[in-house]
């Protein structure tokens, strides 16, 4: 993606309160610096202090090429609380994906443990294995067409590359996935963190935040002859 600026990051704030921010992460930029350095979202977090003495920090992760809802904690106590909510599975996560092929059924669940396997000193991938960590993904088909399917997915666990590996194991790799699928050169990974629902305050309803899909996903959905009901970010507390 093109270089992003602090101003653009500010424009991507979907929700803010005293404890939490939810950011619409753009695809193509990692959330933190890798071994080789380079541009990353954390570099811009100082612009998201909104009067606090320290910048927010990541409450979870999204892959470099995944777009959509990214939750940040605004201070140490908030991060600890969000961490407990994520670890206990109380935060509802909804993803959209465009996959090659289509499942035979309209909905289902994939319960398949995953582990990391090193390929060499610099590369690795996740793989299904009985000795891996439990991983569960629920899914349903939103549309089919052009040899593809538009899926809504709910990962009930938070394993690395979980959705990508699980979809590949049912014969429906994500469009644009060069690791677990058959991405064409320059093809975008069509995986989007569509929504999060966070029960942050015991005496209030859960906070529900939705992120609009990026243009490549919108185009792919329209090419199927389908339509998105609401492309507008929605935040409620």
Q: Which residues are the active-site residues?
A: 63
Answer whether 114's CB lies under 8 Å from 128's CB. yes
Write out the two tokens for 120.
């060499």
Structure tokens at 176: 């644009």
Dihedral angle, C-alpha 195, 60, 86, 89, nearest 10 °: 60
What's the residue count for the chain? 237
Query: 231 near 218, Cβ under 8 Å?
Result: yes
Helix residue ranges per DSSP H, the chain: 6-11, 76-87, 162-169, 215-223
Residue 114 · residue 129 · CB < 8 Å: yes
Report which of 207, 212, 218, 232 is spatially closest to residue 59, judged by C-alpha positions: 207
DSSP string, 111-138: E--EEEEE-SSS-EEEEE-TTSB--EEE
């Amino acid at each position: 993606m093109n270089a992003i600026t602090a101003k653009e990051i500010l424009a991507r704030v979907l929700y803010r309160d005293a404890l939490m921010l939810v950011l619409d992460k753009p695809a193509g930029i990692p959330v933190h610096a890798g071994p080789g350095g380079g541009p990353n979202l954390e570099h811009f977090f100082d612009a998201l202090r909104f009067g606090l003495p320290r910048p927010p920090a990541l409450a979870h992760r999204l892959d470099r090429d995944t777009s959509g809802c990214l939750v940040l904690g605004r201070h140490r106590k908030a991060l600890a609380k969000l961490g407990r909510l994520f670890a206990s599975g109380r935060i509802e996560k909804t993803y959209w994906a465009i996959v090659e092929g289509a499942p035979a059924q309209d909905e289902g669940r994939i319960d398949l443990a995953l582990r990391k396997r090193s390929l060499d000193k610099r590369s690795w991938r996740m793989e299904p294995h009985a000795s891996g960590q439990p991983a569960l993904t629920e899914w349903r088909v939103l549309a089919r067409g052009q040899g593809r399917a538009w899926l809504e997915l709910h990962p009930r666990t938070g394993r690395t590359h979980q959705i990508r590996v699980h979809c590949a194991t049912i014969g429906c790799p994500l469009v644009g996935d060069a690791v677990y699928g058959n991405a064409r050169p320059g093809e975008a990974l069509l995986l989007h963190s569509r929504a999060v629902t966070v029960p942050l305050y015991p005496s209030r309803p859960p906070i529900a935040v939705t992120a609009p899909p990026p243009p490549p996903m919108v185009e792919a959905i329209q090419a199927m002859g389908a339509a998105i009901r609401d492309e507008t970010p929605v935040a409620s507390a």
